[in-house]
Amino acid sequence: MYRTHTCGELRKEQVNSEVTLSGWVQRVRNLGGMTFVDLRDRYGITQLVFNAETDNQLCAQANDLGREYVIKITGMVAERSSKNPKIPTGDIEILVKSLTVLNPADLPPFTIEDETDGGDELRMKYRYLDLRRRPIRENMELRHRMAFEVRNYLNQLNFIETETPVLIKSTPEGARDFVVPSRMSPGQFYALPQSPQVFKQLLMVAGFDRYFQIVKCFRDEDLRADRQPEFTQIDCEMSFINQDDVLNTFEGMTKHLFKTIKGVELHGDFPRLSYSEAMNLYGSDKPDIRFGMQFVEITEIAKGHEFKVFDDAEYIAGICAENCAGFTRKELDTLTDFVKRPQIGASGLAYIKYNTDGTIKSSIDKFFNTEELAVIGEKFNAKQGDLILILSGGRKKTQNALGELRLEMGNKLGFRNKNTFAPLWVVDFPLLDWDETSNRFYAMHHPFTSPKPEDIGLLDTDPGKIRANAYDLVINGVEIGGGSIRIHNDELQQKMFSILGFTPEEAENQFGFLMNAFKYGAPPHGGVAFGFDRWVSMFAGTDSIRDVIAFPKNNSGRDVMIDSPSPIHNQQLDELYIQLKKTEDKK
């Protein structure tokens, strides 16, 4: 028998009983005569005591133990004279009678402690050691509990978890596909699913009514802290529903997760903001509404003051930062530098300070007199002590830049507390996005999203204006999920493909199966998918989704532990009828 208890289990109640424990050596402290060993497993740490006076040989054996050795001990539970209130087993220790080394260990390349000395790349190479560290293990436990509660909640609502295939055909979620060559059909390739989108729709045609799946999706795109080439979605679809039904169901799931996992009760309905409101008030389709500082547009009143920058601008707007009139020159310069960074792209920043002594000071006072500045202040409801920051230029670009500035101010003023949660639904996204470079429309969500019924008339006249029955769940400025009500009619679907530039043959080739299925009695349906990794990382309070994935890839999409991707043997290539181009041929 390897153990009677785990290393996190023993308390005062077990004092004087004989126990057997197995685990890893966290550390050995040889105090001369007495040796203390911390024994660790997934459940905790228990202190072992070896006394040279009672058993010199056993104590010598303990002194030889190295970090991360796997051992088994038997001993008596004793109450500690100096207790450790920081750990649950801190009231007891084990007076060891016998010790077996089950497996020695090489010295780990970094310390297996909460704060480790290992850099990112090293920790990824030895991820199995990294996973022994408490913070990472706790993230994985959190992930498990969240997946469990999702299943629990959706199961109660009659959702069926159904697996869908991984070797499929291209799915249009807007990224590049990962492809897998087929040996049995030479020259042909499977694509890995960017999402199970078409399959979940087919399950609705099949009458499944309510489907979900916690599922891996694959997208070959440039990586960032919140992106991995393979990631996990909570993917869902429902039949005979309208948009409100979907939002209410998943608002319920969100509240359930917050309550069961975070102990947070989210009261009331989540706010719903249209895409255009979100852009006009926050300059973002994923606004962080933990704080206000909403945009106020002043295009009309700010023009006509012989200030060329404003006069030439399509759009002029600002935010009001309460009690920030005391910002120093240096602070304002830093903010100006911030908005001028190429990623943000503003050409400058104007400010107006409504000082507490009643004076008004501004970077544009050459063009605006005090009364005019006071009128601008009124538009923002600015009080004495407040600071207004203004950007101008093209509408879209300026809204984006002002959105970034607002977030920066939110950070600076401490409004973006990780333990405050502000969820909302952003609804009524545009159906289509015009791409200047390729001169064509793209589906903003994906080609299966249905237009708002009242906008269908615009399909032939002004497709760019059509709003979609599409929605995103946003929490604290992070897009946690998104979905839509789908087209369930083959003619409308065909029309959508043609607006998106597919010839009838291409549409038939790629999605004929779906349009065909729609001919056999497709129910009205819609759904949503949540980025599970992002959600876990938000609950864990980590900045990167890598911290909540057991075996993640690095920023170049590599698994440095198993060293993948890697070349394959010529024989494998031959079987697949693949001949590689020389690397020099690569563009």
Which residues of the shown chain bind ligand ASP in the complex (CB under 6 A)?
173, 195, 197, 482-484, 527-529
C-beta of residue 399 within 8 angstroms of C-beta of residue 315: yes
- Cα–Cα distances (Å) from 36 to 144, 405, 587, in that order, read 34, 54, 61
CB of 173 to ligand ASP, least distance (A): 5
Q: Which is nearer to ligand ASP, 26 or 197 (CB)?
A: 197
- Cα–Cα distances (Å) from 224 to 199, 285, 484, in that order, read 28, 19, 25
**Beta-strand runs (E) in 448-538:** 470-475, 478-485, 525-531
Q: Which is nearer to ligand ASP, 153 or 448 (CB)?
A: 448
As a whole number of angstroms, the distance between CA 426 and CA 275 comes to 6
Q: Which is nearer to ligand ASP, 176 or 397 (CB)?
A: 176
Q: Which is nearer to ligand ASP, 10 or 528 (CB)?
A: 528
CB of 470 to ligand ASP, least distance (A): 8
With b for 16 or more beta-carbon neighbours within 10 A and e for fewer, the 366-405 pattern comes to ebbeeebbeebbebbebeeebbbbbbbbebebbbbbbbbb
C-beta of residue 472 within 8 angstroms of C-beta of residue 478: no
Strand partners, 75: 19, 96
Q: Which is nearer to ligand ASP, 28 or 198 (CB)?
A: 198
CB of 281 to ligand ASP, least distance (A): 24
Q: Which is nearer to ligand ASP, 230 or 559 (CB)?
A: 230
Strands laid side by side in the 423-427 sheet:
160-161, 210-218, 230-239, 525-531, 478-485, 470-475, 423-427, 272-274
Q: Which is nearer to ligand ASP, 65 or 528 (CB)?
A: 528
H/E/C letters for each residue in 268-329? CCCCEEEHHHHHHHHCCCCCCCCCCCCCEECHHHHCCCCCHHHHCCCEEEEEEECCCCCCCH
Q: Which is nearer to ligand ASP, 75 or 483 (CB)?
A: 483
CB of 272 to ligand ASP, least distance (A): 18
12: tokens are 């005062």
CB of 182 to ligand ASP, least distance (A): 25
CB of 481 to ligand ASP, least distance (A): 8
CB of 158 to ligand ASP, least distance (A): 18
Instruction: Return the H-helix or E-strand segment holding 154.
Output: helix 134-156
CB of 195 to ligand ASP, least distance (A): 3
Q: At what angle do helices 329-340 and 395-412 cross, to 10 degrees?
A: 140
Q: Which is nearer to ligand ASP, 126 or 442 (CB)?
A: 442
Q: Which is nearer to ligand ASP, 44 or 447 (CB)?
A: 447
CB of 149 to ligand ASP, least distance (A): 20
Closest CA to 292 of 408, 389, 399, 410: 410
Q: Which is nearer to ligand ASP, 368 or 448 (CB)?
A: 448
Q: Which is nearer to ligand ASP, 50 or 429 (CB)?
A: 429
C-beta of residue 398 within 8 angstroms of C-beta of residue 406: no
Pairing of strands 160-161, 210-218: parallel
Strand partners, 327: none
As a whole number of angstroms, the distance between CA 255 and CA 266 comes to 6
End-to-end CA distance of the chain: 60
Strand partners, 49: 36, 95
Report which DSSP code applies to 454.
G
C-beta of residue 433 within 8 angstroms of C-beta of residue 447: no
219: tokens are 């997208």
Q: Which is nearer to ligand ASP, 529 or 536 (CB)?
A: 529
CB of 147 to ligand ASP, least distance (A): 18
CB of 518 to ligand ASP, least distance (A): 17
3-state helix, strand, coil in the chain (%, to 5): 30, 25, 45
CB of 527 to ligand ASP, least distance (A): 4
567: tokens are 């070349």
CB of 379 to ligand ASP, least distance (A): 38
